[in-house]
Amino acid sequence: MIGKLKGFITQARRVLLVASKPDKSDYRQSVKITGLGMAIIGALGFIIFLAVQLIGGL
């Protein structure tokens, strides 16, 4: 149990030492990709909702 915890802490420390704060362009790209994904999922949900409403109304 203690050995697993030490291993996890060692790995987490290694990751934190390598990681760096993203610059503005990386942040903007992440925001654009996330927004596009949300818009696509929302549009698909709306299309499915409309299809169910039209099929259910017949």
DSSP secondary structure string for all residues of 3-58:
HHHHHHHHHHHHHHHH-----HHHHHHHHHHHHHHHHHHHHHHHHHHHHHHHHHH-
Using the predicted structure, report yes or no on whether residue 31 has a pLDDT greater than 80.
Answer: yes
Q: Give the chain's end-to-end CA distance (angstroms, integer).
A: 62
Mean pLDDT of 15-41: 94
Residue-level pLDDT at 48: 95
pLDDT(58) > 80: no
Cα three-residue angle 39-21-34, rounded to 5 degrees = 5
Whole-number pLDDT of residue 2: 83
Provide, rounded to the nearest whole percent, the portion of the chain with pLDDT above 70.
97
Domain positions in the chain: 22-58
Q: How many angstroms separate the CA atoms of 17 and 52, rounded?
A: 51
Q: What is the mean pLDDT of residues 44-50?
A: 96
